[in-house]
């Protein structure tokens, strides 16, 4: 499945952004969907994921309580609401899809089935 992200940008610390990911075909119910991020010189890091059924959500420790992942069935998108952004959130954010949620929260990014092209998020202090 092809994935297209949108919504990145540059903001000040404490601001909010929303990222959206649109799959090329109906993916919900077949794929868990989520986000990873990669900062310069660092490994790709798990951010958030939502299970195939939408009944479970998972978050990386560094974003818990600040980020929220949700499916918008009307728009056929999975969205990442990012609040209280910090400079350390600066990274390229990648949407991903895989049949299994555990590849997300175990940060098994090398085994993930599908990736988007990435969108830059820059948070300045």
- Mean pLDDT of the 79-104 span: 97
29 — pLDDT class (breaks 50, 70, 90): confident
Q: Please give the average per-residue pLDDT across 32-60, as a whole number.
A: 96
Q: Would you state the pLDDT for residue 28? A: 82
Q: What mean pLDDT, rounded, does the chain reach?
A: 95
Beta-carbon contacts of 32 under 8 Å, excluding residues fewer than 6 positions away, are 49, 50, 51, 52, 97, 98, 99, 100, 101, 103, 104
CB within 8 Å of 84: residues ≥ 6 apart: 14, 16, 66
pLDDT value of position 117? 96
pLDDT of residue 49: 98
């Amino acid at each position: 499945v092809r994935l297209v992200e949108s919504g990145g940008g540059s903001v000040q610390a404490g601001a909010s952004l929303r990222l959206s990911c649109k799959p090329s075909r109906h993916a919900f119910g077949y794929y868990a969907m989520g986000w990873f991020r990669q900062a310069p010189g660092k490994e790709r890091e798990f951010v958030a994921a939502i299970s195939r059924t939408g009944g479970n959500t998972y978050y990386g420790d560094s974003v818990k309580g600040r980020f929220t992942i949700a499916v918008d069935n009307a728009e056929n998108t999975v969205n990442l609401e990012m609040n209280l952004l910090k400079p350390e959130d600066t990274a390229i954010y990648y949407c991903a899809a895989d049949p299994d949620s555990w590849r997300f929260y175990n940060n098994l990014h090398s085994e993930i089935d599908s990736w988007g092209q990435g969108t830059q998020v820059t948070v300045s202090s």
